[in-house]
């Protein structure tokens, strides 16, 4: 995801630091403490500009969300969306805004995450979303793909029993790769389609920035939901 150079980027991120967990390894095993509740936690790795995770956090106030994004200029846009929601809640003088889903249930990690087990403890999560992940087209970079079998296994190490990983992509080769990795890992496919928009799966209801762009271009969206 390309972004124009943003003036005073560090300063802008600093101003939104209340939504950033700057030392995520230290938060391992303590994420529910950070959110201040025992609600289930869902993660989007590569959340981009945050449309998907912000929409989820508002629609499901009784869930917590962690958006992970390695590019500062990109995560800034996600943080701004969250801050705007928070500010609307304050304008409404809405003291119970957390319960109403107006704020408080979304945090960010502004890093490129490698091993997710360094950040989350066993069974700390209830779902992982991989939306339009970078394809890393060269074979020698296959291990960097977020749906590589080693990574899938690591997600299920930090996921609660019966939790899921959802993958959306426009990229046919990446989708084929994901299906091979799912097979290799022996994971159970619960939902799958080559055309999410035409399907009846709930996953079509909340879109990402990339998803909107690709759908406008008339591209089909590949989607798969797996369990351990």
Smallest gap, in angstroms, from Cβ of residue 218 to ligand SAM? 17
Which of 16, 21, 66, 68 binds ligand SAM (CB under 6 A)? It is 68
CB of 22 to ligand SAM, least distance (A): 15
Q: Is 45 in the site for ligand SAM (CB under 6 A)?
A: yes
Which of the residues are catalytic?
A: 134
Is residue 48 close enough to count as binding ligand SAM by CB under 6 A? yes
CB atoms within 10 A of CB 186: 10
166 vs 134: CA distance, rounded Å: 15
Using CB under 6 A as the binding rule, the residues of this chain from 142 to 161 that contact ligand SAM are none
Nearer to ligand SAM, 77 or 97 (CB): 77
Are 36 and 100 spatial neighbours (Cβ–Cβ below 8 Å)? no
Q: In what order do the strands lie in the sheet with 159-169?
A: 106-109, 64-68, 41-45, 125-131, 159-169, 222-227, 188-193
Between 47 and 126, name the residue whose CB sits nearer to ligand SAM: 47
Q: Quick one: which of 54, 57, 64, 131 contacts ligand SAM (CB under 6 A)? A: 131
Contact of 227 with 188, CB cutoff 8 Å? yes
CB 172 within 8 Å of CB 198: no
| Count of residues that bind ligand SAM according to CB under 6 A | 20
Are 221 and 169 spatial neighbours (Cβ–Cβ below 8 Å)?
A: yes
166: contact with ligand SAM by CB under 6 A: no
6-14, 177-185, 193-201, 206-214 -> range binding ligand SAM (CB under 6 A): 206-214
Pairing of the two strands 159-169 and 125-131? parallel
70 near ligand SAM, rule: CB under 6 A: yes
Closest contact distance (angstroms) between CB of 227 and ligand SAM is 21
Q: 3-state SS string over 17-29?
A: HHHECCCHHHHCC
Minimum Å gap between C-beta 38 and ligand SAM is 26
Residue 103, Cβ neighbours under 10 Å: how many? 22
Q: Which of 80, 134, 160, 191 binds ligand SAM (CB under 6 A)?
A: 134
Name which of 111, 48, 56, 116 is nearest 80 in CA terms: 48
Contact between 208 and ligand SAM per CB under 6 A: yes
Name the residues that contact ligand SAM, by CB under 6 A: 1, 45-48, 68-71, 74, 112-113, 131-134, 208-211
């Amino acid at each position: 995801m390309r972004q124009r150079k943003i003036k005073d980027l560090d300063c802008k991120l600093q101003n939104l630091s209340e939504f950033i967990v700057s030392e995520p390894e230290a938060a391992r095993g303590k994420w529910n403490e950070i959110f201040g509740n025992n609600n289930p936690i869902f993660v989007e790795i590569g959340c981009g500009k945050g449309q998907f995770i912000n929409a989820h956090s508002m629609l499901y106030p009784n869930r917590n969300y962690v958006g992970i994004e390695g590019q500062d200029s990109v995560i800034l846009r996600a943080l701004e969306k969250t801050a705007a929601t928070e500010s609307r809640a304050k304008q409404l003088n809405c003291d119970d805004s957390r319960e109403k889903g107006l704020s408080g249930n979304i945090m960010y990690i502004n890093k490129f995450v490698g091993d997710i087990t360094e950040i989350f403890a066993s069974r700390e999560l209830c779902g992982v979303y991989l939306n339009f992940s970078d394809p890393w087209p060269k074979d020698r970079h296959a291990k960097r793909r977020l749906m590589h079998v080693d990574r899938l296994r690591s997600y299920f190490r930090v996921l609660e029993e019966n939790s899921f990983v959802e993958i959306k992509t426009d990229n046919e080769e990446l989708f084929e790769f994901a299906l091979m990795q799912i097979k290799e890992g022996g994971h159970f496919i619960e939902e799958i389609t080559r055309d999410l928009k035409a399907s009846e799966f709930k996953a079509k209801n909340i879109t990402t920035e990339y998803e909107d762009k690709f759908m406008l271009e008339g591209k089909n969206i590949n989607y798969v939901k797996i369990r351990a």
